């Protein structure tokens, strides 16, 4: 049985204006992850996702490719402290936040 993992993924390249946030939301939710995704003012996309370790690992690999039209040049992953009361996988989904 897999443990729980929370990560911040920052993706750089041609990742804004190509549907990266909506793609991330759909792919992450299909894997039972919850969290947030947003564009950043520096042109990158930031996703903070939590869920089963194996689902998070496959999501990280998916983010290296991204949706059609995206060109990922760099991907940084940072583990985050687990939330005090994590939502069960599949609950809450992924929220698209305003640009920060």
Question: For 33-76, what is each residue's pLDDT tens digit?
Answer: 999 999 999 999 999 999 999 999 999 999 999 999 999 999 99
First vs last Cα of the chain: how many Å apart?
36
Domain count, the chain: 1
21 has catalytic annotation: yes
64 has catalytic annotation: no
Q: At 95, list the tokens.
A: 């929220």
The per-residue pLDDT for 81 is 85
The per-residue pLDDT for 90 is 44
Cβ(23)–Cβ(63) under 8 Å?
no
Backbone region of residue 90 per phi and psi (left: phi > 0; alpha: psi in -120 to 50; beta: other values): left
- CATH number of domain containing 34: 3.30.70.100
Is residue 65 domain-resident?
yes
Q: How far apart are CA 69 and CA 100, in angstroms?
A: 23
Is residue 98 domain-resident?
no
Residue 86 banded pLDDT, cuts 50, 70, 90: very low
Q: How far apart are CA 9 and CA 45, in angstroms?
A: 8
In sequence order, the β-bridge partners of residue 5 are 51
Is residue 30 domain-resident?
yes
Exactly one of 39, 48, 71, 91 is catalytic; name it. Answer: 39
Range of the domain at 79: 4-83
Exactly one of 5, 12, 14, 21 is catalytic; name it. Answer: 21
């Amino acid at each position: 049985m897999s443990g729980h993992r929370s990560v911040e993924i920052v993706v750089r390249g041609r990742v804004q204006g190509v549907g990266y946030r909506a793609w991330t939301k759909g792919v992450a939710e299909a894997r039972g992850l919850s969290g947030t995704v947003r564009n950043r003012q520096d042109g990158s996309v930031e996703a903070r996702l939590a869920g089963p370790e194996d689902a998070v690992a496959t999501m990280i690999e998916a983010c290296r490719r991204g949706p059609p039209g995206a060109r990922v040049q760099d991907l940084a992953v940072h583990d985050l402290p687990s939330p005090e009361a994590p939502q069960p996988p599949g609950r809450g989904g992924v929220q698209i936040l305003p640009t920060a």
